[in-house]
Amino acid sequence: MKVDKIFDALLENLKVGDASTTVAARRGEITKALNKDFRSVEGSTANRVMVGSYGRHTAIRGVSDLDMIYILPASLRSSYSTETGPRRMLNRVRDDLTARYPNTDIRVDQCVVRVQFTSNKFKFEVQPAFENSDGSFDYPDTKAEGWKVTKPREEIAATKDCNDRTSTNMRHLARMARAWKDTNGVVIGGLLIDTLVYRFFSATSEYDDKGSLWFDFMVRDFFEFLMSEPNKDYYLALGSNQRVNVKKRFQPKAEKAYNLCIEAIAKEGKASANKKWREVFGSAVPLEVTESARSFKDTEEFIESRYPINVSESLAIDCNVTQNGWRTASLREMLKNKTLLLPNKELDFTITECSVSYPYDVKWKVLNCGNEAERRNNIRGEIISPNRAGNARHERTSFRGKHVVECYIIKDGIVVARDVIDVPICTNAA
């Protein structure tokens, strides 16, 4: 499949799509409920601004977090200016929305009111705010017991300006970066993604007028840019220059993506190139049907077909490799030391790090890849549950080839963390 066809299909599959209709309906209902209380107006959908990735038009299919500012009447500012003002305001908004959605999980979360729509598997984060003369907003912060300033309009304007200058490639790359984040468990926020994309295009004009035929080189160079970034605690957001924190280092996973891009580019025109691009961007990349694909049952399942993905928490998995008469070893250490993994080993996959607070659900995926798996008609790849205590998963090595094990953390119906480990088995079973 040609490069432009791959990336055109990828971007088409990443579009928010039909969900935008539901988002618009929920947004209107929330605004009407707040206008009724704060302005005594029935049925009005005015006085709100969509912000975040949805407002910057860099969101992708499966978007689960919708950020909305509700503009408060200026006449109320003095009534909520004391230390208790932020919490009183957020509680008032919470009560208004609870009256509108009595069976929905609605709660105050420091600066916003979170409305979790389980039927749609997304949540609105509603932020009441007073508009300032320069277009910025003062929003409530219960932790600081005061009001802080945010400048989302400047971020939206900077995104649009960069997008116009780069022939819409800014938003294309921002969406692909989100697909990479969600596919590879990169703990990085949406505003930081857009800021880094903005900085990439500020450093080069190479792709300002390029079409999708050049996107393989564009994403390669973007990941090279990311992996070369120095370690920082924060960046200054595009447009607003406000601090946006770095949650966790993204450079190692960017380097892995860069290397996958190199491999995919080298395989251009072959079906294997699509598979490499899938390792970077996930199942939104189309596969090219080949004769070998018809010789085995494709049982692979994709987590994004079951749940929205919004990686915002960290997860790390490892595997204890054991065999009678042998010392237990860590698979990640074996991979690091290039120690061969042989058949007839017992494998216990465990979670070694997880920043998600309970309660949550854990799912696993064990995928067999390569000619041997296809010949045996045993690629597996289903989304499965733990089969050992502590949400662990027990497996056994059996035949040669590349195998991949993934783990997913699902909270409130959304995948918030994921990790993957390669399981390369080197020789046939005895």
CA distance linking residue 113 with residue 30, whole number of Å: 11
- Mean pLDDT (the chain) is 92
CATH code, 19-148 = 3.30.460.10
Q: Which of 42-56, 168-182, 313-327, 380-394 has the lowest mean pLDDT?
A: 313-327
CA distance linking residue 210 with residue 391, whole number of Å: 47
> What's the pLDDT at 129?
98
Residue 324 binned pLDDT confidence (cut-offs 50, 70, 90): low
Classified by CATH at the fold level, domain 293-425 comes out as Immunoglobulin-like (2.60.40)
Q: Where, residue-wise, is CATH 3.30.460.10 in the chain?
A: 19-148
E strand or H helix at 372? helix 371-375
> What's the pLDDT at 175?
98
Percent of the chain past pLDDT 70, that is, above it, reads 96
CA distance linking residue 16 with residue 35, whole number of Å: 27
Strands (DSSP E) found in 35-121: 48-51, 65-71, 105-109, 112-117
Taking 80 as the threshold, does the pLDDT of residue 18 lie above it? no
Alpha helix stretches (DSSP H) within 108-232 = 152-165, 169-184, 190-203, 215-227
Q: Which residue has the higher pLDDT, 16 or 125?
A: 125
391-427 pLDDT, tens digit each: 999 998 777 778 899 999 999 889 999 999 988 877 5
CB atoms under 10 Å from CB of 90, counted, come to 25
139-167 pLDDT, tens digit each: 999 999 999 999 999 999 999 999 999 99
> What's the pLDDT at 430?
27
Residue 194 binned pLDDT confidence (cut-offs 50, 70, 90): very high
When pLDDT is averaged across residues 76-92 and rounded to a whole number, the result is 97
| Residue 278: C-alpha distances to residues 110, 194, 271, 274, 281 (Å) | 38, 22, 11, 6, 5
β partners of residue 344: none
Q: Where, residue-wise, is CATH 2.60.40.10 in the chain?
A: 293-425
CA distance linking residue 215 with residue 221, whole number of Å: 10
| DSSP 8-state symbol, 285 | S
Q: Which of 116-125, 226-235, 261-270 has the lowest mean pLDDT?
A: 116-125
348-372 pLDDT, tens digit each: 999 999 999 999 999 999 998 877 7
**pTM for the whole structure:** 0.90
39-65 pLDDT, tens digit each: 999 998 999 999 999 999 999 988 878
Strand-pair category, 122-131 with 65-71: parallel
